[in-house]
């Protein structure tokens, strides 16, 4: 039985359209995550990824359905759920330390200044900004600003970290370094994380599970792909793993073709029991995301390497 730390249950999002019509971004969407899991959601622009993240954050409400976190239905925003956006949204008049202490003191209102400062410093150190505590955002590079955003989010020790393409505005080198940092921190702290990404390799590096969404409107969660790569995987040697190409090809094939055709080609798709795809060796590969055990096996196809 899955430990459903996060349980998205039958949510829909509809907007009024032209001429009294209704646009349904998605409906009857079910999704769950275990505590400590890192999930990435991938799908084409407009399928509703940010909408799902905003609903999880409590920044938006579903038209139908509910979101349960740690056994409780959410309602509105909470310091239990921290969000990191593509743009950093730092307070420009505050220093690095000031931005992080501001967040920490909102959560622990009865802490004295010294305690808040020491707490904030721990997270500034964790993201590698030691020595930059007194700089203002205008004095920081894009990567440093994003580190402050990560330190600020982590400093409130959220139950869930929600990330909307947090690295997409960064240069490749900084992006790689920050991916490493986020992965290290999440592994070290057991952080539950839900992230939107357009970068397949980023998802393969960071995620335990990859949620594949079909194109909108009327988008579906088509599959949950389990990441078969070992937990101690490195960013630079991902492509050497025997299952890397099978996993990557499966996701790319979905994005290029199946995200468009899935709905028509899969009439029996049950949104409540979305197939859990396990890529790898026969005999090690069968699982399910739902209660009714729908199963899919994708053989490893890495050229010259036997899975
Ligand atoms: N306030 C709104 N009114 C009407 N439609 C909206 C509103 N907000 C979002 N939408 C629509 O909802 C759909 C999903 O938007 P969303 O931002 O969640 O997509 P996304 O998958 O995150 O896209 P991207 O990858 O481009 O960020 C889009 O078609 C968008 O136009």
Q: 249-264 pLDDT, tens per residue?
A: 999 999 999 999 999 9
pLDDT at 306: 26
Asked if residue 150 has its Cβ within 6 Å of ligand 1, the reply is: no
Structural tokens at position 263: 């709905």
pTM value is 0.89
C-alpha of residue 217 to centroid of ligand 1, in Å: 9
Q: What is the mean pLDDT of residues 123-144?
A: 93
67 near 55, Cβ under 8 Å?
A: yes
Q: What angle do CA 233, 236, 241 make, to 5 degrees?
A: 50
* Average pLDDT of the segment spanning 128-152: 93
Q: pLDDT digits over 184-237, tens only?
A: 889 988 999 999 999 999 999 999 999 999 998 999 999 999 999 999 899 989
- Go through the chain and tell me how many residues it has: 307
Q: What pLDDT is stored for residue 138 in this prediction? A: 95
What is the per-residue pLDDT for 245? 94
Tell whether the model's pLDDT for residue 60 goes beyond 80.
yes
Pocket test of ligand 1: the residue of 48, 86, 195 to mutate, having most ligand atoms within 8 Å of its CB, is 48
Instruction: Reply yes or no on whether the pLDDT at 297 is more than 70.
Output: no
Q: Is the CB of 45 under 6 A from ligand 1?
A: yes
pLDDT per residue over 166-198, tens digit each?
988 888 888 898 899 899 889 988 999 999 999
* Complete domains list, the chain, with CATH: 33-59+158-177+190-299 (3.40.50), 89-157 (no CATH)
Provide the pLDDT confidence category of residue 2 given band limits of 50, 70 and 90. low
CB 231 within 8 A of CB 282: no
> Has the ipTM of the complex gone over 0.95?
yes
**Model confidence pLDDT, tens digit, residues 65-102:** 999 999 999 999 999 999 998 877 899 999 999 999 99
285: pLDDT strictly greater than 90: no
Query: Measured from the CB, is residue 131 less than 6 Å from ligand 1?
Result: no
pLDDT of residue 3: 74
- Provide the pLDDT for residue 281: 53
The beta-carbon contacts of 121-127 under 8 Å, at least 24 apart in sequence, are 121/97, 122/155, 123/151, 123/152, 123/154, 123/155, 124/96, 124/97, 124/100, 124/151, 126/151, 126/154, 126/185, 127/151, 127/154, 127/181, 127/185
Determine the distance separating the centroid of ligand 1 and the alpha carbon of 15, expressed in angstroms.
10
Percent of the chain with pLDDT over 90: 76
Which residue's alpha carbon is at the smallest distance from atom 5 of ligand 1?
A: 15
Partnered with residue 278 across adjacent β-strands are: 226, 297
* Whether the CB of 49 sits within 6 Å of ligand 1: yes
């Amino acid at each position: 039985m899955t430990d459903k730390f996060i349980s998205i249950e039958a949510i829909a999002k509809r907007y009024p359209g032209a001429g009294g019509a209704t646009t349904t971004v998605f409906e009857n969407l079910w999704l769950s995550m275990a505590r400590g899991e890192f999930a990435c959601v991938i799908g084409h622009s407009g399928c509703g990824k940010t909408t799902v993240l905003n609903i999880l954050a409590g920044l938006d409400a579903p038209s139908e359905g509910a979101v349960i976190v740690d056994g409780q239905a959410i309602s509105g925003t909470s310091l239990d759920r921290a969000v990191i956006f593509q743009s950093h949204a730092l307070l420009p008049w505050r220093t690095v330390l000031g931005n992080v202490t501001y967040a920490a003191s909102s959560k622990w209102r009865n802490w004295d200044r010294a305690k808040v400062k020491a707490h904030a410093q721990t997270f500034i150190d964790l993201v590698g900004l030691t020595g930059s505590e007194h700089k203002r955002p205008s004095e920081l590079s894009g990567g440093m600003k994003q580190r402050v955003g990560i330190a600020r989010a982590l400093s409130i020790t959220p139950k869930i970290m929600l990330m909307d393409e947090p690295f997409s505005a960064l240069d490749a080198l900084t992006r790689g370094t920050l991916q490493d940092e986020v992965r290290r921190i999440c592994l070290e702290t057991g952080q539950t994380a839900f992230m939107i990404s357009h970068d397949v390799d980023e998802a393969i590096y960071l995620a335990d599970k990859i949620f594949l969404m079909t194109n909108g409107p009327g988008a579906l969660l088509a599959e949950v792909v389990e990441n078969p790569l070992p937990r101690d995987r490195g960013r630079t040697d991902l492509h050497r793993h025997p299952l890397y190409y099978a996993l990557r090809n499966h996701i790319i094939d979905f994005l290029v073709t199946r995200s468009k055709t899935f709905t028509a080609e899969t009439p029996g798709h049950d949104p409540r029991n979305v197939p859990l795809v396990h890529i790898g060796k026969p005999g090690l590969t069968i699982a399910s995301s739902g209660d009714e055990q729908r199963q899919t096996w994708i053989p490893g196809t890495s050229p010259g390497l036997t899975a």
